[in-house]
Structure formats: structure tokens, C-alpha cells
Amino acid sequence: MPNERPSSEEQDLITGSGFRFDTQYTQLPSVFYRLGDPSHAPQPKVVVVNDSLAQELGLRLESLASETKAALFSGQILPNGSIPFSQAYAGHQFGGFTMLGDGRAHVLGEHLTPTGRRVDIQLKGSGRTPYSRGGDGRATLGPMLREYVISEAMAALNVPTTRSLAVVTTGARVLRDQPLPGAILTRVAASHIRIGTFEFAAALDEPKHLRQLLNHAVDRHYPELARASSPALALWDVVAKRQAALVAAWMRVGFVHGVMNTDNVTLSGETIDYGPCAFIDSYAAATVFSSIDEGGRYAFGNQPWIARWNLARFAETLLPLIDDSRSRAVAIAEERLAQFQTWMNEAWTEMMRDKLGLPGQREDDRSLATDLLELMEETSADYTNTFRALSAAAVLPPELERARGWEAWRARWDARCERARGDEPGAAARDRMRHANPAIIPRNYLVEEALDAAVESADLGPFQRLVAAVQTPYEEQPDLAPFQAPPPDSFRNYQTFCGT
């Protein structure tokens, strides 16, 4: 259904709200996207708008009435210069290759911020597209609020991520296992180019297209690589380094992405797709939250190996651009993958040095970290609170302190940090540790409570309090203490669901 024409007054207000579109993606060959407008929303309503992000983006939304914002963030009124489109891509999902595309998303365009950053503004849940396959193109309120709070928490935790600008309800009911309120999230991303976009290009069997995508991606994210002797290899290297840094950052804060399919791996190095993700409470490397991840493919401790697997798929797409001889290209790619392993190990170990406040670098730092993790796993220690306690000279989980091996580990740690037995970390180490070890993460049980209140009782209070609490994850504030509590015992075996 075509969108209602906005009043010229509304359009003028939106024109004055600061959107500056300059879209380059649609200069790619037309196989890479399809133009198309967001669907009709019968009664759009604002649930949340991210005012501080809007400000960063140079958007002036204050002068807009709530109904106008709802019309804007549901795609009923398009800002000047927006020509919406959906992107084509492919991807390996749980290991199997599929042709995909935005089945429920429309990119409004690439917006230029006041500092000259270029970001995609995308609506998610905005209706069917040519890539919807059997899907309804819709999203529901709970999962969109979930993406909002977790992505904003990740940003505050200093983990590279797409951002959330707004959530609106559409006024339509969306049928899942029961009818649920339809909703649309406005996502802001450095871009939506993914490993899956390259897999799509490689599957086209038209070498020109792959080369065009390479040039586009380099130009958008890493323009300095255009002059490299092999821009394809240089791009692979930088994407691999960003993945190593990203996965290390996830593991620093206890994040399990849950659906590390190649269509969910951005070239920018931002976390994308907050579907079945969740944060670990008690430490266990094998932790899986997603109900469909039966084999534990995307378990917490498996994330570095899955990143490598995904980067192997990325390398495969680039082979024709790496060398004319396929066997030579494969040999080069294999050598690069081995290199990734080193980068990943280094990123992980350095991250653990931050968490433990270890000065310099020593050969056995890795085993110091893994031995602590083993003790934590044995005693089901809370991941977040244990590291925070180590950095804040606070109370450790008693099970951990009683564990056989704890005293010996503690002595090794003290010796490694060159302080007397039992001394607390010095000021500099403590400061470093406090910036690596959050006090507040969006705990799964608090996220669920907040979403239940919002969806079932239309009470946004708990959601707003949670969003506020996760903005300052490294500060200790007495009134935020409830957000630091581990889950109640009744909240074990937490499960998350995909495709919601």
C-alpha cells in the first residue's frame, strides 16, 4: 500500500530536522539492491527516541511533534533525499550457504553527520521486500526494544556496534506464536556491508561485480587501502584485525553473539544483529543461549574459532582478486588465516591483561588468565562481578575464594604484578582494570523484566531505568547497585530465540 502523502507542513519540519542524505551504495550494479518503500503502518507511535545519538548525528528532532517522529521512524514520511532500498546478500547460516537479502529492512539512505561521518539509516521491521521469501517483513516490540537496550549498552561498554536511534510501534498486530505489537527499529550503522555481501557478489559469476563491490567497500571504510599493492588482501587483513578486536571486546564483557552467521559480520567491524545474543552470568566457556544452537556452534568460548571460519569464507570470495592462479591465491589466503590466529590470540591475551591489570607482556600471561577462568568455571563464579571485585578490592564470590587452587593463583597474580602477597592492585592498575571490567551489563533477567513490562503492561518504566543504568557501565553508583545483582536461582537455563 502506498504511504499517505504527508502534509507539506510535516514535510517541511522533517526537512529542517537535519537529515543529509548522500547515498553511494545504490551506485553499485542494480543486482545489489532493490528500491522500495517501507510498508504502510496504520497507527505509528513513538516508544523511545535516542536523543543523545540524534544529537551526535546532527539531527534536530526536538521541534517535531511525537506523531511526526512516529511517521518518520515508521517510514511513513521520508526525509528529503531518501530513496529507500533493501540490500541483497548471501550468507552461511549455521554453516550452510543461502542467498538472502534484507527481508524486513529498508535503508533510508546514507546520512552525513556534522563531523563528516557517513552512516546508514535503516528501518528494521518495515515490511516485506523482494528478499522476504516466506517472511512477513515485520518485527515485534519485545525484540526491537531488546536490540535497542543491548546495542546502546554495547556502545557505552566501548564495544564497536551499530546503534539504535528509535523504536516505534506500527499499530499493526504481528502474528508469532500469538499476536504481538508490530514495531520498527531505526538502526544506525557505519554500513551494512557484510561478509555475506561479498559472498553474494562472488556467487553472481560476474567478476566485474565483485571488483565493484571491493572498490565500494574500500572507498567507504578504508580509503587508504586503494593504493595498496593488493587492495583485496589489504581489505581482508584489516577486516580480520577488526574481527579479532571485536571478538576480544565481546569476551571482555561476557557477550555471546549467538548467531555469528557470515551475513551478520560487518566489514566495518561493528557488532550487528542483536537477535539471540545475551551476556553470561556464571562463567562457563560452553555457554549458549540461543534455543536453535543445539551443537554449541556459537558458544561463548567458540567465538574466536567461528570468527576464523567466517574469515575463511570471506577469503574464498576474494580469491579471484588475490591472484590469477587459484592455487597461488589459496596458498596466500591460508597463510593469512594462520596470521589471524595470531592476531586473535594477541587480542584476547591483551584484553585479559587489561582485565587483570598486568603490566607489560609475559609469555605465561595467557595461562594466568585461563587458570583463573578455570577456577571461575569450577565455582560458577559470576563473570562480571568477579572481575569487577578484583579491580575494586571488593568481595569475591566465596566459592571462588574457597576453591582449591585459589590461593596459589592469587599468589601468582600478585607476583606477576610485582606486589606483596594479598596487596590490592595499585592506583594505575586499578584504573586500567576498572575500564576493562564493567560493573553494569544488561543482565538477562533485567532485560526480560523490562521487556515483559513494556509488552504486556505497556509500562516503559523498567525499560527506561535499564537503558539509563547501562549508560555508565564503568562507574559505581549506589543507586545502581540493583543492576549489579546476579540473577535469582529461578533464572537458570536462560534461552533466547531467533527470527523474532
Min dist. Cβ of residue 284 to ligand AMP (A): 25
Given 69, 104, 221, 443, the residue binding ligand AMP (CB under 6 A): 104
Residue 193 or residue 259: which is nearer to ligand AMP going by CB?
A: 259
Binding mask 105-124 for ligand AMP (x = CB under 6 A): x-------------------
Residue 164 beta carbon to ligand AMP: minimum distance, rounded to whole angstroms: 15
Q: Which of 11, 55, 132, 230 binds ligand AMP (CB under 6 A)?
A: 132
| 137 interacts with ligand AMP by CB under 6 A | yes
Name the residue nearer to ligand AMP (CB basis): 46 or 105: 105
Between the alpha carbon of residue 413 and those of residues 373, 375, 384, 409, 458, the distances in Å are 13, 14, 19, 6, 49
Interface with Mg ion by CB under 5 A: which range of 267-275, 343-351, 352-360, 467-475? 267-275
CA–CA dist 147, 80 (Å, integer): 27
Q: Provide, rounded to whole angstroms, the least separation between the CB of residue 498 and ligand AMP.
A: 5
Decide if 182 contacts 171 (C-beta within 8 A).
yes
Q: Is 273 in the site for Mg ion (CB under 5 A)?
A: yes
Q: How many residues bind ligand AMP (CB under 6 A)?
A: 18
Cell of 93: 547460516
Residue (135 or 461) nearer to ligand AMP, CB: 135
Among 135, 207, 426, 482, binds ligand AMP (CB under 6 A): 135
Q: How far is the CB of 78 from Mg ion (least distance, A)?
A: 24
137 binds, among Mg ion, ligand AMP, none (CB under 5 to 8 A by kind): ligand AMP
Place of cell 524486513: 104
C-alpha cell at 113: 553527520
10 or 147: CB nearest Mg ion: 147
Nearer to Mg ion, 264 or 437 (CB): 264
Distance of alpha carbon 402 from alpha carbon 400, whole angstroms = 5
- The C-alpha angle with vertex 301 and arms to 297 and 305, in degrees rounded to 5, equals 60
Given the rule CB under 6 A, which of 98-106, 231-239, 371-379, 416-424 is the region that contacts ligand AMP? 98-106
Q: Rounded distance, CA 244 to CA 264, Å?
A: 15
Q: Residues 386, 356: contact at Cβ < 8 Å?
A: no
CA distances from 106 to 120, 134, 426 (A): 10, 17, 51
Q: Does 499 bind ligand AMP (CB under 6 A)?
A: yes
* Nearest CB to ligand AMP, comparing residues 309 and 406: 309
Residue 109 and residue 107: Cα distance in Å, rounded? 5
162 binds Mg ion (CB under 5 A): no
Q: Looking at 66-74, 108-116, 268-276, 307-315, which segment touches Mg ion (CB under 5 A)? A: 268-276
DSSP string, 283-334: --TT---BTT-TT-TT-GGGHHHHHHHHHHHHHHHHHHHH-SSHHHHHHHHH
Our answer to whether residue 120 is catalytic in this structure is: no
- What burial class does residue 91 get, using C-beta atoms within 10 Å of its C-beta: 0-12 exposed, 13-18 middle, 19+ buried? buried
Residue entry with cell 585459589: 406
Nearer to Mg ion, 147 or 152 (CB): 147
Can residue 385 be called a binding residue for ligand AMP (CB under 6 A)? no
Question: In angstroms, rounded to a whole number, what is the distance separating the alpha carbons of residues 418 and 96?
Answer: 50
User: Residue 413: left (phi > 0), alpha (psi -120 to 50), or beta?
Assistant: alpha
Burial of 5 (0-12, 13-18, 19+ CB in 10 A): exposed
How many residues in total does the chain contain? 500
Distance spanning both ends of the chain, measured CA to CA: 24
Q: Of 101 and 357, which has the nearer Cβ to ligand AMP?
A: 101
Least separation, in Å, of the C-beta of 395 and Mg ion? 40
Build a one-symbol-per-residue string for 235-264: x at contacts with Mg ion by CB under 5 A, - elsewhere: -----------------------------x
* 102, 152, 199, 293: which one binds ligand AMP (CB under 6 A): 102
| Separation CA 325–CA 213 (nearest Å) | 21
Of residues 236-295, those binding ligand AMP (CB under 6 A): 259, 263-264, 273, 275
Helix 141-156 with 461-469: angle, nearest 10 deg:
20
Which residue type is seen at 116?
Answer: G
Question: Which candidate in 102, 263, 273, 382 is catalytic?
Answer: 263
Query: Where in 125-212 does DSSP place strands (E)?
Result: 139-140, 163-175, 179-189
Nearer CB in complex with Mg ion: 246/440: 246
Look at residues 162, 163, 183, 190 and name the one whose alpha carbon lies nearest to residue 73: 183
**Binders of Mg ion in range 430-459 (CB under 5 A):** none
Amino acid at 112: L
Considering the rule CB under 5 A, would residue 110 count as an interface residue with Mg ion? no
Residue 352 touches which member of Mg ion, ligand AMP, none, C-beta under 5-8 Å by kind: none
Of 68-76, 101-109, 309-317, 407-415: span binding ligand AMP (CB under 6 A)? 101-109
Q: Considering CB distances under 5 to 8 angstroms, the limit depending on partner class, which of Mg ion, ligand AMP, none binds residue 132?
A: ligand AMP
- Beta strands 96-99 and 118-124, pairing class: unpaired
- Based on the shown chain and the rule CB under 6 A, indicate whether residue 146 belongs to the binding site for ligand AMP: no
Closest contact distance (angstroms) between CB of 262 and ligand AMP is 10
Interface with ligand AMP by CB under 6 A: which residues?
Answer: 100-105, 132, 135-138, 259, 263-264, 273, 275, 498-499
So which residues are the catalytic ones? Answer: 263
Interface with Mg ion by CB under 5 A: which residues?
Answer: 264, 273
